[in-house]
Amino acid sequence: MLDVVRRARGAATVLASAPRSVKDAAIGAIADALDKNAESVLQANAEDVARARAEGTEPALVDRLTLTTDRIADIAAALRQVVDLPDPVGEVLRGSTLPNGLELRQIRVPLGVVGIIYEARPNVTVDAAGLCLKSGNAVLLRGSSSAYRSNAALVSVMQDALRASGLPAEAIQLVPGTSRESVTYLMTARGMVDVLIPRGGAGLIRSVVEGSTVPVIETGIGNCHVYVDASADVAKAVAILVNSKAQRPTVCNAAETFLVHSSIAGSFLPAALAALAEAGVTVHGDQRIQPYAQAAGIAFAAVTEQDWDAEYYSLDIAAGIVDSLDEALAHIRRYGTGHTEAIVTDSQPAARAFVAGVDAAAVMVNASTRFTDGGEFGFGAEIGISTQKLHARGPMGLPELTSTTYVVTGDGHVRR
């Protein structure tokens, strides 16, 4: 493990001064190599998936683990989008000439060695590597043991592409082993690893945040809400709700709760409950929603305190009726995780009050929660969605993988 970290530091030194053309060529070569070697990656992934199913892994987690030909093509396409993005390294954030004649510039520089600790999502292996490479960082990847074969195959393909491009293969490395000890070492390699980014469930993130001596950029779980305001257009609200929940329920920006204003519940709920049922979604509703479900002949489960807190990763959603926007905001403040919150409304004052009243990395007005995504925001493949308030918040693209340096240029200046 120590050798791996040392090699990463050496690679980071090379990457820090690599020109954009070299980095972009390497990222393009990785994308081409993924397309060319898709079959071998799929074979390795099939072994991981078979093992996960044999061990009784939840279907939602198996879905996150699974790669397909289309998913690999999408991963490669995301890398090519990263090639087209501006290189953040060297960007001047601000500059001035001081009264004493000193020239002052604040420029973006790479973080150095970035460690990623994540669960069973092999796409993160490539997304993280591509973004770190573009921003001049070496990356240490520690995925879950359930995806070890998939991750090893992906890293092997990427390292071969790096060598062919003239960059050190050690710029992208898989943390050796599958034991807890390797995670602990990564979390405590202060001075060798510059920053850690955990991606996964609440347990993983809490463990990394609480156990690390290395600085951590906290990515949070997504207990996302859709609030249907009194003035909402019913058709729009139904479409946004169903998309937020059912388009891909196993991701962090899927909605887990919807709240509807009591004055529109009579027209909204029959259509919404029918659409959710058609999409296979089970509604865990409060007592005020139950009569609507019974009238529509739709299966209904009584909501619990655990449901309000849940990030389901499945076709389940908690639901409640509120009597005001303020009541909806109070509910969201209590149960929200600071990820994404959405309002559907035709009232500009209500939209402004909602945006001002929620504390979240992203707020959607008349749009699905599923848009909180680096690719959808035009950042390229994201490295995570930060719910903290320091340095980075929301989808983390290239700029969030940099720090800054002040460059001060004088002409024999001395301080008096």
3-state secondary structure of 307: helix
Closest CA to 73 of 116, 149, 126, 118: 126
Judge contact between 239 and 370, C-beta under 8 A.
no
Average pLDDT of the chain, as a whole number:
94
Looking at residue 219, the DSSP 8-state letter turns out to be B
C-alpha count within 13 angstroms, C-beta hemisphere, residue 407: 12
Helix axes 20-36 and 122-134, enclosed angle (nearest 10): 160
Distance, CA of 396 to CA of 99 (rounded, Å): 37
Residue type, 22: V
**pLDDT digits over 55-112, tens only?**
999 887 898 899 999 999 999 998 998 999 999 999 999 999 999 999 999 999 999 9
pLDDT score of 298 more than 90: no
Return the pLDDT at 201.
78
Instruction: Answer yes or no: same fold for 2-219+396-409 and 224-371.
Output: no
Q: Which CATH number among 3.90.550.10, 3.40.50.1950, 3.40.50.720, 3.40.605.10 corresponds to the domain 2-219+396-409?
A: 3.40.605.10
Distance, CA of 328 to CA of 259 (rounded, Å): 7
Judge contact between 11 and 171, C-beta under 8 A.
yes
CATH of span 224-371? 3.40.309.10
Please, what sign has the CA dihedral across residues 365, 371, 372, 376?
negative
Residue type, 155: V
Antiparallel, parallel or unpaired: β 385-386 and 394-395 = antiparallel
Helix axes 234-246 and 262-278, enclosed angle (nearest 10): 50
Looking at residue 376, the DSSP 8-state letter turns out to be T
Antiparallel, parallel or unpaired: β 172-174 and 138-142 = parallel
**pLDDT digits over 232-287, tens only?**
999 999 999 999 999 999 889 999 999 999 999 999 999 999 999 999 999 999 99
Mean pLDDT of 134-145: 96
**pLDDT digits over 9-26, tens only?**
999 999 999 999 999 999
Locate the DSSP E strands across 131-194.
Answer: 138-142, 172-174
pLDDT score of 381 more than 80: no
Torsion of CA 208, 212, 218, 219, to 10 degrees: -30
Torsions phi, psi for 87 (to 5 deg): -80, 120
Of 3-7, 55-59, 168-172, 304-308, least confident by mean pLDDT is 55-59
Which residues have CB under 8 Å from 319's CB, separation 6+? 257, 258, 259, 260, 283, 284, 285, 286, 289, 303
Return the pLDDT at 227.
98
Residue ranges covered by each domain of the chain: 2-219+396-409, 224-371
